[in-house]
Amino acid sequence: LQKLIHLLQATDDQLIQEQALITLSNSAAFSVNQDIIRNLDGLSVIGGMLSSCVPKVKEKALNALNNLSMNIKNQEEIQVYIIQVCRTVESAPLNSDVQLAGLRLLTNMSVTSDYHQKMINSIPCFLHLLSEGTERIQIQVLKVLVNLSANPSMTRHLLRAQV
């Protein structure tokens, strides 16, 4: 895992970045690896890949963070990327794999109310995707909205959102 994280930092080759991210994502299926990746500063390395202009690299980074977000300690570090992920979902092409991967990560990050405030500005986007997205996008948006609606302090923001 350490070599993969180092490789991800050291290369500009998009195919290698994709493959390293896929491997890290698959490794994150095991809770012990989630801790190891965090302790090796892998979350910030993967988070740095969110700035990639290559959609496939961005998508794989979102998928890896999604798998890593199943761990509460990891969520504490991943939360710094929520606003960036929201912007990515808003700016990604409608119904793209990047948009779907971002929504999946936001679903996991919204299971508890800890980070809901960071998603407030994206509520209009979520509602737009609910009406314009494909079924896969709509289902994922609904999961985020259900999580947000479970928090009483989000009611006002959900009801006042301009659509």
The model's pLDDT over 53-69, given as tens digits with 9 standing for 90+, comes to 999 999 999 999 999 99
Model's pTM, two decimal places? 0.96
Residues present in the chain in total: 163
Q: How far apart are CA 56 and CA 18, in angstroms?
A: 7
Question: What is the location of CATH 1.25.10.10 in the chain?
Answer: 1-79
Give residue 148's pLDDT band: very low, low, confident or very high (50, 70, 90): very high
> How large is the average pLDDT for residues 5-20?
96
Q: Which fold has domain 1-79?
A: Leucine-rich Repeat Variant (1.25.10)
Cα 69-75-79 angle, rounded to 5 deg: 115
> How large is the average pLDDT for residues 63-85?
97
Q: Could you tell me what percent of the chain has a pLDDT over 90?
A: 98
Instruction: Give residue-wise pLDDT tens across range 98-121.
Output: 999 999 999 999 999 999 999 999
Instruction: Give residue-wise pLDDT tens across range 15-43.
Output: 999 999 999 999 998 999 999 999 999 99
Selection from 115, 134, 132, 135 nearest residue 124 by Cα:
132
